[in-house]
Structure 1
Amino acid sequence: MSTRKEREKAEQAEAKRLEKEQKKAALAAKRAARDAAKGESKADDDAATSVRSDDTAAEVRVTTAVTHDGWSEEEDLQLIEGLRARGVNREEGTSDADRWEAIAAYVDGRTAMECVKQYRVMLARVKRARENGVRVANGETLPDDVVKRGKSKQRKMLSVKQEQEEAARKKKEAREEAMREARIAANGGRLNGEDLGFHIRSGPDANRRANCNMDIHIAGIQLYGGRDELIQDGMLKLVFGTKYGLVGRNGCGKSTLLRAISERTIKMPEFLHIIHVEQEAQPDERSAIQTVVETDQERLYLLEMEQRMLDEELDVIDGVDLNEVYERLDEIDADSAYARAGQILGGLGFDPEEQLKPTKDFSGGWRMRIALASALFMTPDLLLLDEPTNHLDVHALTWLEEFLRKWEKTVLIVSHDRGFLNDCTTATIFLHHKKLRYYGGSYDTFLKVRAEHRANEEAVQRNQGMREASLKQFIQRFGQGHKKMVRQAQCRMKMLEKLQTERVDVDYDDPYLRINFPSAPPLPPPCISVMNVSFGYEGYQTLYEGLDFGLDMDSRVAIVGPNGAGKSTFLKLLEGDILPTEGWINRHTKLRLARFSQHHLETMDLEQDCVTHMKKLDAEMPLETARAYLGRFGLSGELATKPIRVLSGGQKSRLAFAELAWKQPHILLLDEPTNHLDLETIESLAMALNNFEGGVVLVSHDERLISLVVDEIWIVTKGDMKSNPPKPGTVSVFNGSFDDYKAKLRDEFSGGNLLTEKRKAARKNSKNAEPEPEPEAAPVSPPKPPGKIMMDNAFMKEVSAVSNPQAAADRPPPSKSKFVPPHLRALQAASEADRDDENADDAWNE
């Protein structure tokens, strides 16, 4: 027996069923009426078309297309006449080309090939006309006369969709063009940055940014790398003027985040000027300095507009008059563009001759420096640097640190160089577990603060665990029994649920990669003896001469110096790849050397997997041994069987380290081993080198690795073979730490050759504020008059070199000219030498 609700439910279901059946019946009646109407219309069409004869239908089909592809009816008749005269088939002794040339002679203005194509078209028409005649005779409807709803079935839906998309695209472009023209007209004919294709940094458009908030605060960021989620509900917070370091493990999405910011996949404020240094400069005929200067598209646009106004005598172009052009050129400091570009290139290691070389003559690493110089030249609001230290030597790296310290805008840096991050950044962003975490201070400060946070989180987690265990014990004991105790147990259950929802997650690190270099049997010193060695490539300058030193299994040496001085060549000499031009190098007969080259990765077969690469070193190497060596360097499991081409740069470096470990060397020769490695892997490499019971000769600019591993620093000094007499390079021992060496470089930079204009102005102001004391040799010189004449220590050596020696002993000549960087001094040496004496005397006579 069913209840009342069930009966009501059954009645409702029956009513719905009847309603559906009525609708179906009505729809069937409509379809029947429509089919009957179609049958009547088809019968009428068949009766009308049945009166046509086969010949008439064929004639109609042929004559309606006589003008196909530009051929007239008369030309078709001429072609038919030629075919009748010459025959359809080729005659014996004649070629097809000759026959069709003869046929084409009957058709005015047509070539033989055009006649062949038209003949094929006519054959297709006749065939189609015959087929249609057969259909008409059988009472069928011709395909061309069949009309369906929508497009004809003879056309593919893909072509229909493409036509629709093309029409929609053209309509959208027309609408956008109309909106653009209306906007330009409303703006007085002025073009914005989107129209010009570059960011406008001067004029009224740039002035509108004065009251804009330059800070960046974007929430809810979702970032994917392929199918992998890299950032989940992240928040990007960048305060204007702050230099951030973005750190995290390899593969967590740091470079992808920079790319998303530069491509504005993450919605960024439109008024911000963003530059991302990721790709090297294009190799072309332009010189390095020209490539940097032409990065400023606004300067080129204004100079071109100025030239057009002067040549064509125009008052206004694109809503801009000549006065505004001059004001904007002055605002972006266009006159000093080449000087600023030369200063930046000089700081990054380009001498004056190299700045004039075409970019196609530089390697990829040097073109990356040109791209970095172009970004620094533009001074964007947000500068994104992805591993900027990979292709820099210590000199260029130290200069870049000094340059970025004075940078007044926002910088976001991804780097594996711990010292560079400590010197340049004032805040740190940690990308970990798909979240962006923010810390104040440099990278070392971030490590300390994070360690303190982790300790606090662990303490809170321990307290929560103890509290949770106590609550569970009480609930288990008194959950059943007396009513009063049961109520207390229920209250404890609510407390337990709240405690579990507020559980603190400790920010643990991912497991560290453990690197291990097996040690070889000990050898008595010296392992390598270098005696009075000189070297220079044939036809080029001598790199260095007079080298005398020895290396053994206790040696820990860092080779530093500018690019081009011969650091990598020095390692090749030690290994024996090249022979010295003078002197000799003795090696122990049982000595085994292993060298890691910065170009070693380019020699790998990218289609092979890691296991096959290891087995190539020894055909008899067991598979288990190859996997064991790879596993020591984090290439285990499926990663060891993947092709080398799909591995990241850091994973390829680990494969090279595994190859070095298999050789079991007595001395390791490492040339820039930290490129493509993250900070944690560099720490593991440093620990592995400290545990290695052999010698290490290291070429690197990584301050952290050098400070942890090496005991001595050898400086390779670049020679000058163009001087008179020529001066070859040298290799000398530096008495001090790597920090002392960088401090020495900074002192050289502060002498004036690589400082920014702001730093120069600061030094000049400090000199004006604190006058230098009178020199001790002042009694024989006239008293120094009061005024603005100040001594310039940066020019003391140059002035004394060209001035009268006796006058220099009497009084120090001041300099009234502006500071000239070293890469421009060679161009002005002659004129400066002629003017120094006169300028110095005039300054004292005022």
Structure 2
Amino acid sequence: EMWGDVGRCDHALTLVQSVSERSADRLLRVRLWESARGVGIRCRLLSGLGFDHEMMQMPTRAHSGGWRMRIVLAQALFLKPDLLLLDEPTNHLDIHALTWLEFFLANWERTVLIVSHDRGFLNKTTTATMFIHGKRLRYYGGNYDTFLRVRAENRAHSSAMAKQNERRVAHLKGFIARFGHGAKNLAKQAQSRMKILQRIQDEPCEVDFDDPYLRLQFPSASPLPPPCITVANVAFGYPLADGSIPKTLYQNCDFGVDCESRVAIVGPNGAGKSTFLKLLTGEIEPTEGHVGRHAKLVVAKFTQHHIEMMDPEKSSVNHMRSLTQEGVSVEEARKYLGRFGLSGDLALNPIKFLSGGQKSRLAFAELAWRSPHILLLDEPTNHLDLETIEALAMALNQFDGGVVFVSHDERLIEMVADELWVVNKGANGEPGSVAVWHSSYEDYKERLQQEFVSAGLVSGGTVRGVNA
């Protein structure tokens, strides 16, 4: 019997081992499948944020700061946290990556908290808004446009209630002053009204006032007859280190810019948007064709690189005074900076203590100082708050010269641009192009969404394989 029990135990052990082997094999296949699925998801996330296959194979240290930020963003999205915190996620994104991210977050099934200056992005990705003002945090249901409407309604109601209370207070004070020391019954009524007055004054009706609105102004030089800048059959490619024939970035570019132009340039990062602005200014020369400029043309250009090159030890006042050889007085420089929201100590402190948005305002003041015929702006909304972007858009609309700007900010493009130039990236050894988009900015974003669906990056309105 003992040996029979041992035999049965051996048989059972063999069965257990067989089941264990099958389970281990199945577990291995599941893990391999999950690993392959994870790689697929990571690739889709990186593709959506603008990485091609070659860029995905590069070490992180080989990427620029902007692309590293995208890698960090892709990592956060891949982890699918219960709470996703995004602080200015659109700063280093082009229009392609921005549109994809809007798709992604619109279908994110967990909590996401976004700090952003991009009004269009907030409208498409949020369902509630928290507003910090006057050291208080107020909560509003709905996206950013809904918040603006509800806040305006609440402010109008509060203002009306405050005026009504002022009238009541004036009436009560008049009654008390008139009858407070009169007949006994009237004195009692006056005392009763004093209690009502005290209650009104103890519970004031607060009105949510805005901060003083920033007004920017860009004075222009006297207008020039068109065209101010002519781009004729231009091609460009950066020269290679070994002296060989450069790879053409784009070709067959034919455009004109004058003092009435309002042009937004969009396209993926690396396509050559900033390079195209350099061709317009003459910082670089085309490899083919010709870029002509009016002999009296004055151009002012804004770039993030220009901000980084400012002397951090100088004050804003001294920076403005150094723009001309003859210099200007401290009073004149401070007065000019005040128009751009840099007044008081801000104008006297070293530039290194200014925020990114304040440095941008200093750069805008420098542009205005030059009184140009044409403004060229490369991502001017980075680090600006929503109110300053609105002020910038209004200032550009009032500017009596031409404006050409690179931006992914939907609000700025829709408020300012009359034309949309799309820089298309080259592929399969073929050069890219710069083409006029003969429709609206919204239509262009819809085309990008269709491309994402065709490329398998999104499916049925969601990001494939991520939100499932």
Residues 752 and 760, structure 1, Cα contact 8 Å, conserved in 2: no
CA–CA distance in structure 2, aligned partners of residues 327 and 547 of structure 1: 55
Is 1:611 aligned to 2:314, yes or no?
no
Q: Which whole-Å CA distance do the structure 2 matches of 1:761 and 1:526 have between them? A: 48
Which stretch of the first structure deviates more once superposed, 331-340 or 501-510?
331-340
Q: What TM-score do you get using the length of structure 2 for normalisation?
A: 0.90
Q: How does 1:334-413 map to 2 (within 5 A)?
A: 334-413=35-114
| Shift in CA distance, 756/384, structure 1 to aligned 2, threshold 3 Å | farther
The partner residue of 2:446 within 720, 724, 743 is 743
**2:147 alignment partner in structure 1:** 446
Matched, 1:753 2:459: no
Offset at residue 573 of structure 1 (A) = 0.3
The question of 1:580 aligning with 2:286 is answered yes
Q: Partner letter of residue 601 of structure 1?
A: I
Quick check: 1:433 aligned with 2:134?
yes
* 1:392 alignment partner AA: L
Q: Deviation of residue 517 (structure 1)?
A: 0.6
Check 1:544–1:761 CA distance in 2 against 1; reply closer, same or farther (3 A cut).
closer
Q: Please give the per-residue CA displacement for 1:613-661, whole angstroms capped at 9, x wherever unaligned.
A: 1111113222233222211111111110101111100000001101101
Please list the CA deviations of residues 373-428 of structure 1 after superposition, one character each: whole Å capped at 9, or x if unmatched: 10001010000000000000000000000011121100000000000000111111
**Would you say 1:531 and 2:232 are equivalent positions?**
yes
How many equivalent residue pairs?
Answer: 438
Shift of 1:436: 1.4
Tell me which residue corresponds to 1:515.
Answer: 216
Letter in 1 for 2:96: H
2: distance between equivalents of 1:622 and 1:577? 28
* C-alpha distance in 1 between matches for 2:307 and 2:110: 36
CA–CA separation in structure 1 for the residues paired with 2:108 and 2:48: 15
Cα distance in 1 between the residues matched to 2:463 and 2:342? 50
In the TM superposition, what are the counterparts of 1:46-57 in structure 2 within 5 Å?
none
Which position in structure 1 is the counterpart of 2:426? 719
1:680 aligns with 2:387: yes
Matched, 1:416 2:117: yes
Which of 350, 363, 372 lines up with 1:643 in the alignment? 350
Aligned to 1:552: 258
The answer to whether the Cα contact below 8 Å between 2:456 and 2:464 also exists between their aligned partners in 1 is no
* Aligned counterparts of 2:203 and 2:125: Cα–Cα separation in 1: 38
Partner of 1:670: 377
Task: For structure 2, list consecutive stretches of 5 or more residues without a partner in the other structure.
Answer: 1-22, 241-245
What's the secondary structure of 2:249's corresponding residue? strand
4+ residue segments displaced more than 6 Å: none
- Counterpart contact for 2:229–2:256, Cα < 8 Å: yes
2:367 maps to what in 1?
Answer: 660
Could you tell me how far 1:761 is from its partner in structure 2? 7.2
Contact 1:560 1:715 (C-alpha < 8 Å) held by counterparts: yes
Structure 2 SS opposite 1:687: helix
Q: Which has the larger radius of gyration?
A: 1
Inter-partner Cα distance in structure 2 for 1:628 and 1:558: 31
Q: What is the aligned partner in structure 2 of residue 593 from structure 1? A: 299
Cα deviations by residue, 1:540-587 (Å, 9 ceiling, x for unpaired): 421111111111000000000000000000000000100011111111
Give CA deviations for 1:46-71 in whole Å, capped at 9, x if unaligned.
xxxxxxxxxxxxxxxxxxxxxxxxxx
TM-aligned CA deviation for residue 601 of structure 1: 1.4
What one-letter code is carried by the residue in structure 1 that aligns with 2:179? F
Following the alignment from structure 2 to structure 1, what is the Cα–Cα distance between the partners of residues 456 and 402? 37
- Aligned position for 1:702: 409
Higher mean Cα deviation, 327-336 or 537-546? 327-336
| Structure 1 residues 719 and 356: CA distance shift in structure 2, 3 A | same
Task: Verify the 8 A CA contact 2:419 2:436 in the aligned structure 1.
Answer: yes
Name the amino acid aligned to 1:537: Y
Who is 1:730 aligned against?
433
Instruction: Output the CA distance in 2 between the equivalents of 1:464 and 1:644.
Output: 46
Tell me how far apart the structure 1 counterparts of residues 226 and 460 of structure 2 sit (CA, whole Å).
52
* Aligned CA distance change for structure 1 residues 552 and 495 (closer, same or farther; 3 Å): same
- For 2:433 and 2:461, the matched residues in 1 are separated by 35
- 1:598 Cα deviation after fit: 2.3
Letter in 2 for 1:651: Q
TM-score, length-scaled by structure 1? 0.50
Amino acid at match of 2:437: F
d(CA) in 1 for partners of 2:384 and 2:185? Answer: 63
> What percentage of aligned pairs have identical amino acids?
62
**For the residues of structure 2 that align with 1:328 and 1:625, how far apart are their CA atoms?**
74
Structure 1 residues 482 and 331, CA gap change in structure 2 (3 angstroms): farther
Looking at structure 2, the residues matched to 740 and 522 of structure 1 have their Cα atoms a distance apart, in angstroms, of 33
Q: Which residue, 627, 631, 648 being the options, matches 2:334?
A: 627
AA aligned opposite 1:553: C
Structure 1: stretches of 5+ with no match in the other structure: 1-321, 766-846
Measured in 1, the distance between the counterparts of 2:188 and 2:170 equals 19
Indicate how the Cα distance of structure 1 residues 358 and 460 shifts in structure 2: closer, same or farther if over 3 A, else same. same
2:228 aligned partner, one-letter code:
C
The one-letter amino acid of 2:62's match is: D
Task: Write the distance in 2 (CA, Å) between the matches of 1:695 and 1:760.
Answer: 40
Q: What is the 5 A alignment of 1:176-255? A: none
Distance 2:224 2:280 in 1: 17
CA distance in 1, matches of 2:357, 2:42: 33
The CA distance in 1 between the partners of 2:386 and 2:464, in whole Å, is 37
Contact map agreement 2:302 2:378 (CA 8 A) in 1: yes
Shift of 1:757: 9.3
Between the aligned partners of 2:407 and 2:30, the Cα distance in structure 1 is 42
Alignment of 1:278-317 (within 5 A): none
Q: CA RMSD in A?
A: 2.1
SS of the residue 2:312 aligns to: coil
Aligned-pair CA distance for 1:328? 13
Distance 1:532 1:613, change over 3 A: same
The answer to whether the 8 A contact 2:378-2:407 is kept is: yes
State the distance in 1 between where 2:127 and 2:433 align. Answer: 38
Helix, strand or coil: the match of 1:599?
helix
Tell me, what secondary structure is at the counterpart of 1:336?
A: helix
Aligned to 1:105: none
Aligned residue for 1:334, secondary structure, equals helix
Distance (Å, rounded) in 1 between the aligned partners of 2:389 and 2:99: 20
User: Hey, what does 1:483 align to over in structure 2?
Assistant: 184
| Paired position in structure 2 for 1:570 | 276
Which has the larger share of helix? 1
- Distance between the aligned counterparts of 1:760 and 1:702, measured in 2? 22
